[in-house]
Structure 1
Amino acid sequence: MNRWLQQPLMWLRTFTTSIAYLPSLLATLYILLGLISVLPSGLPEPHELPASEMLNALTFKEHDTPRTLLAALVGGLISLMVFSFTMVMSVLTQAGAQFSHKLLLGLVTERHHQLVLGHYLGSLLFLLINLMVPNTGDSPTLWRSIAVYLGVLMMVNCLGMFIYFIHQASQSVQINAVARRLSGRTRVSLERLRERNRHDGFGERQITRDTSRCQLLRAKRRGYVQQVDFAALRQLAIDHDMIVHLDFALGAFIVSGMPLMRIEWPAGLPEGVSAGDELDEHHQAGLIKKLRAALGYLDGESVDDLHEHGLTQLMEVAIKALSPGINDPGTARLCLHQLTELLSERMQLPLCNCCVDEEDHIRVSWEMESFDSLLYRSISPILHYGRDDLSICLALLSLLKTLSLLGSDDAQLALLQQHADKVVEAILAQAQFEVDRRFIEQGLKAGHHRLTLPGTPW
C-alpha cells in the first residue's frame, strides 16, 4: 500500500477507535442543528398559522426571557457534566486499584460512555450557539422560541442520560461485568484466529531456515507488533521468490534497531551480498517499504488482536485480588472460571505458524506461543500467590480436571498432569487438621477427569 495512503488510514483508524470518535460525531450534529436554529426560518407570524392562539402563547414576548432560560440551562448542564465525570474518575480509580490498570482504557472507551459524553457536549454547544446569537426585532420569533424549547428538551434528555450513565458506570466496574467483558473480547479474538486458520495458505510446518541465504531487516520504530498482514507478506514473498521469517513473536515489544525479519532467498543471495547482510535501503527500498507496511504497531496490549493478552489480563486481575491489600479470593475464582473456558477453546485450536503458496512451499513463517507456555503463564502466578488459600488451589485443580476431559492427545494430558501434581502438593501441605483433611479429600475426588491424583496419605 502507498505510504501516502497508509498514513491517513492509520490516523483514521486511531480516531475511530479513540474516545473522541462518537462524541465528535454527535457534537457535529448538534452544532449543525444549532446553526439551523439561529438562521432566519422564513416562517410566517404565529397569527398567520393554524392554531395561532397556541403558537402565540409559545412565542416569547421579551428578549431577556429566553436568554435567562438558556443561561440557566448552560450552567446546569456544565454542573451535570462536572459531576458525571468526577464520578467516572472515582470509579476508574477504584477499578484500577482493585483489578488492573490495563482495564481502564477499555472502561473509558465503551460505546455507551462515549454516547453520553457526545450528548452532553452537543447539547452544551447547541445552547451556547442560541445564547450567543442575538435575537433581532422587537421580540423573539416563533423559530427562535422553538429552538429554546428544543434546548429544554435536550436538557431533559441529558438528565435521563445522567441516570443511565450512573447505572452503567456502577455496573461496568463490577467484577462479573469486568470478567465477562474481558472474556468476551478474548473469545472474539480466538474466533477470528480460528477463521483465519481455516483459509487456504495457512498451516503448521517444521520451520527451517538456511542462514547462508538470509538477509536481515531491522526495525525502524518501537511498539507492540500485534497486527500482521500475512496475506500481503505471502503475496510479496511469491512475487519476489523469497521466504519471510519474522524474528519476533506476535505481541512482542519491538525496539528500533533490533532484528525484525530475515529474508531467505531460495535461489541464492543477490550478487555482491553476503549472508547476514541487511537489506539494501537504496536498491531494495521498495521491497523494504512494503515489508514494513505489513506490520501494525500499537502502544499497548490489544485483547482484540491477540487472545494471549486477554488470558494474561484475567490472570493479573486474579493475582491482584489475592494481594494482601485487597484479599478477595472470590474474584480470583471467578477469573479462574473464565480462564477454564478460554483455555479449553485455545487447547482445541489448531495452530498455524506459516503461510504457504499453491505449491505448498513456505513463504512466511512466524513464532507461535505454544499451549504449554500459555497455560504456564496463566495459572502458575495464581498458584504462587494463592497457594495458601485452599479454595484457590481447589479451583485450580478443577480447571485442570476440566481441561483433561477436553484434551485431544497424550502430550496435553501429560502437561496437565504435571501442573496438577504441583497443585496437589500445595493442597496437601494445608492438611493440618482433621476438618481440612475431610474437605481436601472431598475436593480431590470431586468431578470427572482423566488425571492421576494421589491418594490421601492419612
Structure 2
Amino acid sequence: MKAKVQLWYSNHKNIINTTKFLFISIVLLIIVWFTDVNQMDVTVVFPELMLLSVEMSKSLLTTLAGVFLTVATFTFTTILTVMTTYSSSFTPRVVQRFINKPHVLSLIGIFIGGFFYSVLSLFILQDLPTDRRILAGTLGVFYAIAAMIAFMLFVQQVIRDIKGVNLIQDIYDEAKILIEQEADQRKKSQRFEEEKIGKSIRLYANATGYFYDINFEILLDLIKDLSCELVINKKIGEYISKGVYLADLNLTQKDLPEELNEDKAEFLSKIADCFLLNRIKNITRDYHHELTTLVEIALRAISPGINDPNTAIDCIGKISNLLGQLFSTRNKYIVVNTTEQAKIIYTSYTVEEELYLSFYQLIFYGKEDPSVAYAILEGLYLIYMIADDSAKTSVKEFFDYAYEIAFENMQTSFDRKHLQSIRDDFIENRDDQSDTTAVREK
C-alpha cells in the first residue's frame, strides 16, 4: 500500500506542488468569512491597529490580485528560461530534477493561491459596511510578505543552481546517499545456500513500464508460508515490457504446496502484480539515474559545441568515487525483506556491468582527449583502491581495456607517455596496502 501511495504521489507531484496553496487560500477565506462577515471578535489575536477599513482592504486586495497574477506569469517565464539553460548546457535529465524541487512549482502555486484569495475576498467584502475594520486586508498583507520572501528564496536558489559546479555537487551528494544505503544493505545480506534450492519458477511481467518499486507488504504476505527465496533479476529503473522475465521463485521443496499448485498461474500473477511498473523512473531509489546524469553532463562538456573538459574531469572523478564506494562490499545483492522461511532478494549489476554502463560512452567520446583519457584511467585507479578484493580483478581488466583504447588514439608520443605513466603507477602500486587504507578512510 505504501509503495502504491508513493507511486501515485510521484506521478502527481507537480500538480500537488502547484495547487496545494489553493487550499491555504480556502482556509484563509473561511477565516475571513467567520471574522468579517459573522463579526467574530479578533482583537484578542490581532490589535485593532492591524485591522484595516473595508475601503482600504478592497483597494489593497484589488492591487494584490493584479500583482499576484503578474508575478506568477513572470515566475513561470523565469522557470522556462532556467529549464532551457539546463537542457542546452547540461542535460535534459536535470530539467525534471529542477522542476521537482519544492521551491519551484510551489512558488507559482503561492502566487496563484494569492490571486484566488484576493479576488474571492472582494466578493465576500462587497456588502460590508464601510465603517467597519476587518481582517481580510491584513491577511492579504501577511500573505504578500510571505510570497515575497518565497520569491527571494527562489531567486537565490536559481542563482545557485545555475552554476555547473553546484549542480554537479548536488547530484553527487544525492547519489552518494543512495549508494551508501545500497552498500550498507549489501553488507548485511545473507542468502540461502544454492544446494538447498529444490525448484525454480520463473515470473513474468504483467504490464509495461519502468521498474519503479515493489509492493513488499503484499508480496511477503503471498510467500510467507513458503520456504523460498524470491530473486529479482530486473533492476529498478529498467524498462520492462509485458511478458518479460522478471524474477525467480526458488523453492527449497520440489514444488508449490498442493493448494497453491492448483491455481499456480493465478498465484504467480499475483506475485508479478507486486512489481510496480510506471511511465517514469523512480529517481528517489535509483542511484543509476544520478550516475547517468553525471555521465551525460560529462559527455555534453566534452562535445565540440561546448568543449569544457574540466567539467567532464570533475564528473569523472565523482563517478569514480561513487563506484568505488559501491564496490567496497563483496555482495552484489540485497536481501530486502524476510520472514522465518522466505526471503526477497534484489540482485544488482555486476562489477563489469557497472563499469561498462558508467564509462563506455566516456571512453568512446573522450578517447582522443588526453586530459579526459587520463582522468578516466585515474578514476579507475581510484575505484581499484577503494573496491573490495572481490571486485579488483574486474576493475583491473576494465582499466586495461580503457588504457588500450585511449593509448591507440593518442596523437603524439608525449600524450602516450603521459598515459603510460599512470599505467606503470597502477601496475607497481595498485596493491600498496598503505595507499589503499588511506583512500578508503577518506
Give the distance between the partners of 2:389 and 2:360, measured in 1 at CA: 22
- The answer to whether the Cα contact below 8 Å between 2:327 and 2:391 also exists between their aligned partners in 1 is no
Gaps of 5+ in 2: 432-442
Compared with structure 1, are the counterparts of its residues 415 and 136 closer, same or farther at alpha carbon in structure 2 (3 Å cutoff)? Answer: closer
- The answer to whether the Cα contact below 8 Å between 2:114 and 2:143 also exists between their aligned partners in 1 is yes
Q: Does 1:221 align with 2:207?
A: yes
Match runs of 1:200-215 below 5 Å:
202-203=190-191, 213-215=199-201
Compared with structure 1, are the counterparts of its residues 225 and 66 closer, same or farther at alpha carbon in structure 2 (3 Å cutoff)? Answer: same
Q: Deviations over 1:244-297 (max 9, x none)?
A: 344534432221122334445543346999xxxxx98x8357734651353232
Q: Deviations over 1:207-240 (max 9, x none)?
A: 9976xx4544432211122423567646643403
Match runs of 1:142-157 below 5 Å:
142-143=133-134, 146-157=135-146
Amino acid at match of 2:33: V
- Please report how far the alpha carbon of residue 374 of structure 1 lies from its aligned counterpart in structure 2 after TM superposition: 0.4
- Please report how far the alpha carbon of residue 346 of structure 1 lies from its aligned counterpart in structure 2 after TM superposition: 0.6
Compared with structure 1, are the counterparts of its residues 230 and 67 closer, same or farther at alpha carbon in structure 2 (3 Å cutoff)? Answer: closer
- The answer to whether the Cα contact below 8 Å between 1:405 and 1:449 also exists between their aligned partners in 2 is no
Q: Does 1:20 align with 2:15?
A: yes
Amino acid at match of 1:383: I
The one of 100, 109, 116 aligned to 1:109: 100
* SS of structure 2 residue aligned to 1:248: coil
- The answer to whether the Cα contact below 8 Å between 2:226 and 2:342 also exists between their aligned partners in 1 is no
Residue equivalent to 1:38? 33
Residue equivalent to 1:386? 366
Q: Does 1:313 align with 2:313?
A: no
- Please report how far the alpha carbon of residue 410 of structure 1 lies from its aligned counterpart in structure 2 after TM superposition: 6.9
Give the distance between the partners of 2:91 and 2:296, measured in 1 at CA: 7
- Please report how far the alpha carbon of residue 12 of structure 1 lies from its aligned counterpart in structure 2 after TM superposition: 5.2
Pick which of 256-265 and 396-405 moved more. Answer: 256-265
Give the distance between the partners of 1:160 and 1:394, measured in 2 at CA: 47
- The answer to whether the Cα contact below 8 Å between 2:298 and 2:313 also exists between their aligned partners in 1 is yes
- Please report how far the alpha carbon of residue 391 of structure 1 lies from its aligned counterpart in structure 2 after TM superposition: 1.3
Compared with structure 1, are the counterparts of its residues 183 and 268 closer, same or farther at alpha carbon in structure 2 (3 Å cutoff)? Answer: same
Match runs of 1:231-310 below 5 Å:
233=219, 236-269=222-255, 283-284=263-264, 287-288=267-268, 290-310=270-290
- The answer to whether the Cα contact below 8 Å between 1:190 and 1:307 also exists between their aligned partners in 2 is yes
Amino acid at match of 2:107: V
* SS of structure 2 residue aligned to 1:260: strand
The one of 118, 143, 147 aligned to 1:158: 147
Residue equivalent to 1:455? none
* SS of structure 2 residue aligned to 1:348: coil
Q: Deviations over 1:316-355 (max 9, x none)?
A: 2211222222222222112112112201111103425375
- The answer to whether the Cα contact below 8 Å between 1:308 and 1:374 also exists between their aligned partners in 2 is no
Q: Deviations over 1:111-152 (max 9, x none)?
A: 222442342232222212212224334415211xx3213313
Gaps of 5+ in 1: 274-278, 453-458
* SS of structure 2 residue aligned to 1:225: strand
- Please report how far the alpha carbon of residue 377 of structure 1 lies from its aligned counterpart in structure 2 after TM superposition: 1.5
Q: With structure 1 as the length reference, what TM-score do the two structures score?
A: 0.78
Q: Does 1:74 align with 2:71?
A: no
Match runs of 1:57-72 below 5 Å:
59-60=52-53, 63=55, 66-72=57-63
Amino acid at match of 1:102: R
Residue equivalent to 1:100? 91
The alignment yields a C-alpha RMSD, in angstroms, of: 3.9
* SS of structure 2 residue aligned to 1:326: coil
Give the distance between the partners of 1:247 and 1:431, measured in 2 at CA: 43
Amino acid at match of 2:90: F
Residue equivalent to 2:325? 345
Give the distance between the partners of 1:70 and 1:87, measured in 2 at CA: 25
Compared with structure 1, are the counterparts of its residues 398 and 45 closer, same or farther at alpha carbon in structure 2 (3 Å cutoff)? Answer: closer
- Please report how far the alpha carbon of residue 110 of structure 1 lies from its aligned counterpart in structure 2 after TM superposition: 0.6
- The answer to whether the Cα contact below 8 Å between 1:37 and 1:147 also exists between their aligned partners in 2 is yes
Match runs of 1:39-58 below 5 Å:
39=34, 40-42=37-39
Q: Does 1:124 align with 2:115?
A: yes
Compared with structure 1, are the counterparts of its residues 346 and 354 closer, same or farther at alpha carbon in structure 2 (3 Å cutoff)? Answer: closer
Q: Does 1:136 align with 2:127?
A: yes
Q: Radius of gyration: which is bigger?
A: 1
Match runs of 1:335-374 below 5 Å:
335-353=315-333, 355=335, 363-374=343-354
Residue equivalent to 1:175? 164
Compared with structure 1, are the counterparts of its residues 364 and 11 closer, same or farther at alpha carbon in structure 2 (3 Å cutoff)? Answer: closer
- Please report how far the alpha carbon of residue 18 of structure 1 lies from its aligned counterpart in structure 2 after TM superposition: 0.8
- Identity rate of aligned residues, in percent? 18
Q: Deviations over 1:143-165 (max 9, x none)?
A: 1xx32133134324323332322
Residue equivalent to 2:305? 325
